[in-house]
Amino acid sequence: MEKIEKSDREWRERLTPEQYRVCREKGTEPPFTGAYNACKDPGVYRCVCCGAGLFDAAHKFDSGTGWPSFYQPIAVENVDTVEDHSLGMRRVEVTCSACGAHLGHVFPDGPRPTGLRYCINSVALDLAN
């Protein structure tokens, strides 16, 4: 995947303040507030920052956590993971491979076939039907 680099100023001009806070400053939207939490529409969830395809709606499930959850990305190379030790806990952060946007976290408590739960902020996504 081709890497996309922009200056901080370019990201601020492109994104809303909430998108910038979550995607570029590793923030989190409050649970049960995101536009895609309960969304059942088909399509591809794309990175709001760069448009890269991240998750297929067919892989979405209701985790009850308050954030859109997926059991796998469209392709493993489309997302990167890195250990996150913020907030005094060990988590695995999920970022867009193309632009480095913070998307959310992945946990080992999802459904079959992967057993993973990609817990993703709605504000980091754009659903394209």
- Ordered by where they begin, the domains of the chain are 8-128 (2.170.150.20)
> Dihedral of CA 79/103/121/62: which sign?
positive
Mean pLDDT of 94-121: 97
* 46-73 per-position pLDDT tens digit: 999 999 999 999 999 999 999 999 999 9
pLDDT tens digits, residue range 117-129?
999 999 999 999 8
Query: Do residues 58 and 39 make contact, with C-beta atoms less than 8 angstroms apart?
Result: no
- Active-site residue set: 119
